[in-house]
Amino acid sequence: MQFRFGNPCAATADDAALVWTCRRALALALVLTLPTLADAGGPPQSWSTRSAPTVEDLDGVAFGDGMFVAVGNKGTILTSPDGTAWTQRASGITQRLRGITYGSAGRIFAAVGFGGTVLHSTDRGLTWTANNVSAGTDLQGIAAGPVVNGGTRFVAIGSSRKVLMANSPVLPFTEQALPGTVPASASLFAVAGLDQNGSSTPFFVITGSAGLVLSSTDAMTWTKLACGYTGNITAVGRQLGQNAVAAGEQSGAGGLTSKRVTVSGSACSTAAAAANAPIAGITFGDGYGVAVGYGSIQYSAQNSISSWTAISAPNNADLHAVAYGNGSFVAVGGRGSIVQSAGGVANTWVGCYTDDEARALPVQLMSSGATPASCIAAAKARGFAYAGVQAGRQCFAGNTLGHVKKDDSLCKKACTAAAGEWCGGDWLNGVHATGLTPTPSPAPQYMGCFTDKPQRALPVMLQQANATRDSCVAAARARGLRYAGLQYKGQCFGGNTAQYLKEKDDKLCNTVCSANQQQSCGGEWHNSVWATGATLPPAPAPSSKVGCYADPDASNRMLPVMLMPSGATPATCVAAARAAGLAYAGTQFGGQCWGGDKLSGTSAPNECTMKCTADINQPCGRDWFSDVFSTR
C-alpha cells in the first residue's frame, strides 16, 4: 500500500534551519492499527544509504507490482525493483511532484504535483502519461483505496481545500464537497487509502491544519472528526481495518507537546505520544511501523503502535516519505536522499527446480530485470504462492511446485539487476515462497490406462521428459485442464477429454517414472490418466470479444504478461487474466495466454485462425496475433 506523506515546509524554505523551525510547528503522523502479523522479520533498525541519480528533493515514494517509484522536484521520477539500484525516468514535465500511490486493481501508479499535475503509469513506472486537472491547483498528495463494488478509487488533495476523486487516474477527477464545519482557512496536508492487496474495507483519511481529520468510506462523502486536538497533522498512513492513530505537536505553556490521536471509524480520541520528534511520513510492513523525518527514523515494536525506538537517519538525511515492499523499508528525502532498511527474502527459499518450454511456474511476470525480492513481490501482488527467478533476470509465478528439484548450487546465476544475488539458472527456477497459501486443490483421481495415437488423446504437451504424477497434474491444473496423462517414463500431456480406448489391463501403463522410481508413468503410446479436479470456466460473453490484434514485435508484446505458455482456451485465458486483475486477455499460437491493461497493437480481423490445441472448436489467434477479450 502507499500513502502520501505531506511535507509543506519543503515548499516554504530552502534554509535547513528554517525548515527545521517550520517542521517543529507541524504534526507528527497518522497511522492505522496493525493487524496481527505472524513470521515478521527483525526490527528495521539497520539502514543504509542508496545512491540516487539526482540531487533534486524527493517528496514521495510508493511500492507496487514489484517496483519502488519515487517522485520529487522538477518532475523527477526514479524507479527501483529492489530499493537499491535506481534509474531515472522521463516524466515529460518540470512541475514539482508531491505524491505518488499505487492502485492494485488496475496495476497503475499515479503521481500528482504543482500546477494540477497528474501522471499515471501502467508499466511499473517506466513511462508516464499526463492527465492534468486545473492548473491553478497545487496538488499535495494522492492515495488509492478500494470501493464496495470492487476496483480502486483515487483521492487527490490540493490547495484551496480541494478534494478530488476518480476511479482511475486515466479518467477526469471530480471535486468532492467537504463538510461546512471545515474552516475556509484550513490546509490539507495528507491523504491515505489502502490498496496494496485491493481487498480491504473501504476507508479513506485526510489530515490537515489545526488538528483536521476527515474520514470517508467512499471517497465522496466526508465526515469531520472531533479529536480535541489543535496541532497540524502532516503525514498519514494506513494499514488494515478502520482504526487509526495520529500524533501531533501543539504549542502550550510547557512548549511543544506531542499527542497521539486515535481514530476508530467515526470516533476520535487523544493520548500522550511515545516520542516528541517531528515526523514527515510513516508506513507499516512486516509487522513493524516506520516513521521518518528530519534526520530521524523511528520504528515500532513488533505488532505495536505504542512502543517506538528512535535512531538517527544515515548522514542525518532530511527524509520526507517512506514505503514498504520487497522485504524492506525505503525512505526518500531532500537532495536525492534515499535510505533503505536491512531486509530481503532470505527465509523464503524453497529450492532449485527444473523447467522447460511448458513452464513449471506458468505465469511469466518479468522477462528481464528481476531479483528475488521484486519477483516475490510481483507474484504475491497477483496472489501466487511461489515465485521463481531464472536465467539471471526472468520472473515466473504459480501455485504448485512443478518438475524436478535439483541441488541448490545449480541456481546460482548472478542477477543482472542485483550484484551479489542469485537468480536461478538456465532452465532452472530459483523458487521462493511468497507467504500466500493457494486454495487447496482436490486430490487427483486415477482414471485408468488409455491408448494414444499420433493425433494425441490429450493434445497439450506439458512436459517432454522427467514428469512425475505430481508435476504433471500441477502443470495441467495451472492451465485449467481437466486431465493429465503420463507416458513413456515421464512425458506429460493434458486435455479436457479423455479420448481413445481405456485398457482393461493397467499393466500396459506400468513404466516406471524416470524422475520418481515409486510412480508409474504410462507406457509406449499409453497414458496413465489422472483427473486434476479443475473445472472449466464459463465461455466469455460474445460482447467481451475485442478482436484480433498483432503484436508490435517479438520483444514488445501488446499484452506483456504471459499467463500460460500452452493449453489455454478463451475461457481459461480470460479467467486467468481476470484473477490477475488484468483488463485484457489474449490467446495466441493455438494456446498461449497473454494478459495486459492496454491495447497497443494493430487490428487484424482475419488473422486469428489457428485452432486451440485444447479445444479444436475454438480459435486461439496465431503466431504473433492474439484473439483479445475484455475481462471487465
The 10s digit of each residue's pLDDT in 230-252 is 888 877 777 655 555 555 555 44
How far apart CA 253 and CA 399 sit, in angstroms, is 60
Percent of the chain with pLDDT over 90: 39
Q: Which sign does the torsion angle of CA 344, 346, 348, 352 carry?
A: positive
Say if residue 195 is in the same domain as residue 114.
yes
Top pLDDT among 479 and 601 is at 479
Q: Are 47 and 339 in contact (CB under 8 A)?
A: yes
- Give the pLDDT score at 260: 63
Q: Is 364 helix (H, G, I), strand (E, B) or coil?
A: strand
How far apart CA 136 and CA 134 sit, in angstroms, is 5
Residue 113 structural domain: 8-33+60-276
- Give the pLDDT score at 289: 80
- Give the pLDDT score at 10: 43
- Give the pLDDT score at 582: 81
- Give the pLDDT score at 37: 27
Q: Place 600 in a pLDDT band, splitting at 50, 70 and 90.
A: confident
Say if residue 510 is in the same domain as residue 608.
no
Q: Place 309 in a pLDDT band, splitting at 50, 70 and 90.
A: confident
Rounded average pLDDT over 583-612: 88
Write out the DSSP string of 521-587: -BBTTEEEEEE----PPPPPPGGGEEEEEE-SBTTB-SS-EEEESS---HHHHHHHHHHTT-SEEEE
Q: What Rg do the C-alpha atoms of the chain give, in angstroms?
A: 27
* Domain annotation covers residue 301: no
Say if residue 449 is in the same domain as residue 491.
yes
Rounded average pLDDT over 177-203: 80
* Domain annotation covers residue 311: no
Instruction: Please give the biggest Cα pair distance in the chain.
Output: 94
How far apart CA 194 and CA 250 sit, in angstroms, is 28
Amino acid identity of 353?
Answer: Y
Top pLDDT among 472 and 87 is at 87
* Domain annotation covers residue 322: no
Q: Are 286 and 343 in contact (CB under 8 A)?
A: yes
Cross-strand bridge partners of residue 625: 550, 622
Q: Are 350 and 425 in contact (CB under 8 A)?
A: no
- Give the pLDDT score at 275: 57
How far apart CA 400 and CA 386 sit, in angstroms, is 7
How far apart CA 390 and CA 369 sit, in angstroms, is 11
Which three three-digit cell numbers place residue 479?
A: 492451465
Top pLDDT among 165 and 476 is at 165
Which three three-digit cell numbers place residue 564?
A: 500460460
539-574 pLDDT tens trace: 999 999 999 999 887 667 888 888 888 888 999 899
Say if residue 263 is in the same domain as residue 168.
yes
Which three three-digit cell numbers place residue 238?
A: 494506513
Say if residue 378 is in the same domain as residue 401.
yes
* Domain annotation covers residue 167: yes
How far apart CA 439 and CA 570 sit, in angstroms, is 23
405-438 pLDDT tens trace: 899 889 988 887 765 678 999 999 999 998 888 7
Q: Are 620 and 536 in contact (CB under 8 A)?
A: no
Rounded average pLDDT over 491-505: 84
CB atoms near residue 386 (< 10 Å)? 25
CB proximity list for 442: less than 8 A, separation 6 or greater: 533
**pLDDT at 616 exceeding the cut of 90:** no
- Give the pLDDT score at 345: 47
Instruction: Please write down the HEC assignment for all residues of 313-333.
Output: CHHHCEEEEEEEECCEEEEEE
111-137 pLDDT tens trace: 999 999 999 998 889 999 999 888 889
Which three three-digit cell numbers place residue 209?
A: 491544519
* Domain annotation covers residue 260: yes
Q: Place 224 in a pLDDT band, splitting at 50, 70 and 90.
A: very high
Please tell me the number of Cα atoms within 13 Å of 556 on its side-chain side: 7
Say if residue 206 is in the same domain as residue 101.
yes
* Backbone region of residue 92 per phi and psi (left: phi > 0; alpha: psi in -120 to 50; beta: other values): left
Q: In this structure, what CATH number is given to the domain that contains residue 185?
A: 2.130.10.10
Helix (H) or strand (E) holding 470: helix 469-478
Structural domains counted in the chain: 4
379-404 pLDDT tens trace: 887 778 999 999 998 999 988 776 78
* Domain annotation covers residue 300: no
Listed residues 433, 467, 490: the one ending a domain? 433
102-106, 304-308, 447-451, 580-584 — which one is most confidently predicted on average?
Answer: 447-451
CB atoms near residue 408 (< 10 Å)? 13
102-111, 424-433, 503-512 — which one is most confidently predicted on average?
Answer: 424-433
* Size (the chain), residues: 632
CB proximity list for 245: less than 8 A, separation 6 or greater: 30, 31, 32, 33, 260, 261, 262, 263, 305
Say if residue 121 is in the same domain as residue 257.
yes
Cα–Cα distances in Å, from 27 out to 222, 307, 585? 21, 18, 47
Q: Place 33 in a pLDDT band, splitting at 50, 70 and 90.
A: very low
Say if residue 245 is in the same domain as residue 135.
yes
Listed residues 433, 456, 479: the one ending a domain? 433
Please tell me the number of Cα atoms within 13 Å of 191 on its side-chain side: 29
Q: Place 150 in a pLDDT band, splitting at 50, 70 and 90.
A: low
CB proximity list for 48: less than 8 A, separation 6 or greater: 314, 339, 340, 342
Say if residue 114 is in the same domain as residue 64.
yes
**pLDDT at 277 exceeding the cut of 70:** no
Q: What are phi and psi of 397, to 5 degrees?
A: -145, 155
Q: Are 321 and 306 in contact (CB under 8 A)?
A: no
Say if residue 198 is in the same domain as residue 92.
yes
* Domain annotation covers residue 283: no
> Which DSSP category does 265 fall into?
T
- Give the pLDDT score at 29: 38
How far apart CA 632 and CA 629 sit, in angstroms, is 9
Rounded average pLDDT over 207-232: 88
**pLDDT at 30 exceeding the cut of 70:** no
Please tell me the number of Cα atoms within 13 Å of 20 on its side-chain side: 10
Instruction: Please write down the HEC assignment for all residues of 169-238.
Output: CCCCCEECCCCCCCCCCCCEEEEECCCCCCCCCCCEEEEEHHHCEEEECCCCCCEECCCCCCCECCEECC
The residue with cell 537468480 is: 423
Predicted model pTM? 0.66
Listed residues 253, 276, 299: the one ending a domain? 276
Q: Is 376 helix (H, G, I), strand (E, B) or coil?
A: helix
Say if residue 207 is in the same domain as residue 270.
yes
* Domain annotation covers residue 69: yes
CB atoms near residue 509 (< 10 Å)? 23
Q: Are 338 and 537 in contact (CB under 8 A)?
A: no
Say if residue 184 is in the same domain as residue 256.
yes
